Amino acid sequence: MAVWTGPNCYIAPMNELTGKHIVLGLSGGIACYKAAELCRALVKEGATVQVVMTEAAEQFMTAVTMQALSGRPVFTSQWDARTSGGADNNMPHINLSREANAIVVAPASADFMAKLVHGRADELLSLMCLARPIESVPLILAPAMNREMWAHPATQRNIEQLRTDGATVLDVGAGDQACGETGDGRMLEPDELLYDLVRFFKSKVLAGQQVLVSAGPTFEAIDPVRGLTNLSSGKMGFAIARAAHEAGAHVTLVAGPVGLPTPRGVGRINVKSALDMKEALDHLAQTATVFVSAAAVADWRPAQTMDQKIKKDGSGEVPTLSFVENPDILAGIAASPRAQGGALYCVGFAAESHDLLAHAQAKRARKGVPLLVGNIGPATFGQDDNALLLVDAHGTTELPRASKLVLARQLVVEIARRLQA
């Protein structure tokens, strides 16, 4: 049995795309300006980036700019005689595609996607998309166009056909467009595209799962301006929600009062008190297949909440408060017929101040959950890193100190392994 020895030395996360070689294609459109920032972000995450531009794209962005950002010569013509991949054969459409882990076209115009549907290949970028080995070099398209072009039946038919042919067509954003109109069709922002690309390369170990995550503190009101809460930042729960989404799950996050941004692709419900959280979780647990209870729910709440602020009157008298115990949300869900029947896998969290191993083992038995995740609360509240102790019926496993996202991904793998078993 492993013995908890406390936080280990910090393990810095690797860049998300280290070792990946991305061919970044630009077709014509004003969204080419976003491709410049995307290229920069990909390089910062450790990827090597080879830029290929259509003639139309060069009307919006210069090859010089993209070369400076990627650190590699930009290819714009199928007749380019430069050596690529060690092959001096004047075939960049073959050589460039064979080197790639993925071809990403951002922006992908309506015209360019229509060209791909029909297998047309009259310039370098479309040639590459057609000549790539389909099984080993995925094609990812980030559409960008006017809202009417996006909504046109021909465009929507083309998108469905591209997906049928094996391409990954990303969503579009909504908002102001360069033409002055407002609506769907904007290319996703560079940070959104980066997330989607990172997620694309993650193993989908939770594909098909409906994951429910609780995160953050609760707030138990004493009067309209005061209440009881705790130091939980919610960062661990939010990281778990992101990691589960990366792993292919449909994720719903129930969050207490925190100011964190919602992870991309994750549904979010905001709550305040323990009773609010219980109501939301009890309802959502009826359809979830995995429940990760990472929220730091208050154990007690004031027996009475004052309608008006309790005023200090200078008398020196301290108001007397009485408390009642909040319901045990995790234990209640773990005891439900769905959880007892194996349709819902429950994971609990224990934030302790000392004797983590003993308290975590006792809490797992008390809550009736198959897996309990323990950590030292004062060492992690508000921090970006953590160290975890996994406790189940077979013993314990330490996850050494690392960023919370790294740990969340490790936890997701552990959950998936137990689901498969």
Could you give the residue numbers annotated as active site? Answer: 179
Phi, psi of 245 (to 5 degrees): -65, -40
Contact assessment for residue 348 and residue 332, using Cβ atoms and an 8 Å cutoff: no
Phi, psi of 366 (to 5 degrees): -70, -40
Phi, psi of 314 (to 5 degrees): 85, 0
Sheet of 345-352, strand order: 267-270, 250-255, 210-215, 290-293, 345-352, 371-376, 385-392, 395-403
- Assigned token pair, 20: 């990946």
- Terminal C-alpha separation, the chain: 21
Query: Could you identify the residue written with the tokens 């349709």?
Result: 343
- The neighbour count for residue 243, using CB atoms within 10 Å, is 28
Q: Do you find a cis peptide bond into 257, omega within 30 degrees of 0?
A: no
Contact assessment for residue 67 and residue 41, using Cβ atoms and an 8 Å cutoff: no
Contact assessment for residue 197 and residue 140, using Cβ atoms and an 8 Å cutoff: yes
Q: Which long-range contacts (CB under 8 A, 24 or more apart) does 410-417 make?
A: 411/240, 411/243, 411/292, 411/347, 411/373, 412/205, 412/206, 412/240, 412/243, 412/244, 412/246, 412/247, 413/205, 414/371, 414/390, 415/206, 415/290, 415/292, 415/345, 415/347, 415/371, 416/205, 416/206, 416/247
